[in-house]
Each structure stands twice: as C-alpha cells, then as structure tokens.
Amino acid sequence: MSLRPIAPHTPVKLIRADEFSGGPGYATWRPKGSGDWLLIYTLAGSGRVATATGAIRVKAGSGVLFRAGDPQDYCTWPGADSWVIRWAHFQPRPHWAAWLCWPEPLKGVLHFQLRDSATREQVATALLEAIRTHRQADLLGADFAANALERAFLLIHSQQGPVLDARVRLALDHMATHLDAPLALADLAAVARLSISRFAHLFRQQTGFAPSAYVERMRLQRAADLLRSSDLAIKEIAAACGYDDPFYFTNRFRRLYRTSPSAYRARPSGRRGVRGQGGRTASTA
C-alpha cells in the first residue's frame, strides 16, 4: 500500500482555474484522478508527470491534460528550483472533444508542446483571463472563465499540425483584413516580402490552395456569414467581400455553396453545406 498522501479535491461543476509556483518539494498524488479534467500549463521551471509505466518532463511552453478518472501524479522536476504553472480543473463542453486529441506519451497523460513564442504568450494570457474571471463573484464568472479556457484550447489545437511559415501568415492576415479590396498576387507577395513565384509556391505548399483560390474562399465564407447575420442586400454583401459585380458574386457563391445567396439566406442554419475541397502563489492544482 502506498504511504504517499493523497491530495484532496472536490470535482468542479464547470471550471476552477488558478496559478501556482511550486518549489523543490511540491508534489500532488491522486491515484483515482480528480473527477474532472485537469490542464496544467508550464510558465517557467519544469515538472515531472508520471504514470506506472514512465515519466515525462514538462518545461515552459508545454502542458499536460488529465481526463476524469485518470491518475494524477506530478511534482517539481527533481533538481529544479521551481515549477510555475497555470491550471484549470474543468468539465469539458461537448464540442471541445475534437480539440483535445493531443499526443499521449503515457497512458492517461495527454501532452502538448507549443513551438512559437507568440502562441505561448497567447495561451498564457487566455489562461490568466480564465483565472481572473473565475475569481470574480459575478454569476457569469465561470462561464467567462470557460470561454477563456476554450480560447486556450483552440490556440493549442492550432499548433498540433504543421506550423505556418511566418511569411504566409503575414499574407493570410492581410487577406483577412482587406477582403473588400483588390488582392493581387503581386501585392500579397510584397506583403510576404517574397518574389511572386516563391510566394505562390510557398503558399500552395503550406495551405494546399493557390493564393487566388484561398482569397475567394475567405471572401465567400465571409459572404455566407453576412447572409446569416445581417439584412444587407446581396449587392452590398458582394461589395463588402470584394466583388464589384453582384452577378459574378452570385455565380461564384453558387459554385461553392451549391445554391444562390438568397436561397442560402432562407435556409435553416443546420442545413447549410459547403462543397469540399482537396502571478505566482495561490492554491495548488
């Protein structure tokens, strides 16, 4: 029988989040888990997460996720001075499932490593927002905290596939903020600081689309959003999405969505479809 003390925990109904700085002696052991899911994100230092079959080391920019019922055994890494973390005990919302399919290096321990500093900062900020709103007495505090946690999960999920080249990201950001303006290939290449041929090749390699096709898809998706959420006339939506000719816009929209803009607007939302294309101290966790 193990003589290790079992860390107490009462399962949360929605979310409880906080931050903690553990010294060399910090350790938590819950052989039956916590009855909810637990995310631990490392800000600084390092920690050790173990199961009966092995252990992994988590450092800054990485994190682990325990599902409900999975044993929780973690501590400051032996020899490390500290382990600074932000954590959240939570009950996952159903639509989060697809975002939480991370590598499982140890049975019962999901793990992720964020590869760029910008995303690390965004995840840390989202978790800080979850902590801040959770601490508020307002009745909606837990819901705002869950919303911030959802943002963190989306950011983490976005990093599980190939990382986009920073130059392609510049072009994508420019597209997203200038959909009502001409977006010539030469202009996009200039934004990415690449030659036209190099930009076109890199963009297709990274996204699977030619730049012009990607621009059109973004424009038509925005048009679909406006059709659902506004009373703008079709010609106004066309202009807002970079189409001078409403008839051409209608033809392109029909090609992607298999219906006219006006018919799309009249459909129940569930039936719409698109054509497929190739701080430091606080409570412990």
Question: Domain coordinates of the chain in residue numbers?
Answer: 15-158, 166-271
Token digits of residue 110? 């999901």
User: Is residue 11 scored above 90 in pLDDT?
Assistant: no
pLDDT the model gives residue 283: 64
pLDDT the model gives residue 136: 84
pLDDT the model gives residue 46: 97
**Percent over 70 (pLDDT), the chain:** 92
Please tell me the CATH code under which domain 166-271 is placed.
Answer: 1.10.10.60
**Percent over 90 (pLDDT), the chain:** 64
Least confident of 70-79, 104-113, 158-167, 205-214: 158-167
Please tell me the CATH code under which domain 15-158 is placed.
Answer: 2.60.120.280
User: What's the mean pLDDT in 268-278?
Assistant: 44
User: What are the CB-based long-range contacts (under 8 Å, 24+) for 175-180?
Assistant: 175/214, 175/215, 175/218, 176/218, 179/215, 179/218, 179/219, 179/222, 179/240, 179/241, 179/242, 180/239, 180/240, 180/241, 180/242
pLDDT the model gives residue 277: 40
Residue 62 in 3-state DSSP?
strand
Q: Has this prediction a pTM greater than 0.85?
A: no
In the chain, the DSSP E strands lie at 15-22, 27-30, 37-51, 54-59, 62-66, 72-76, 83-90, 110-113
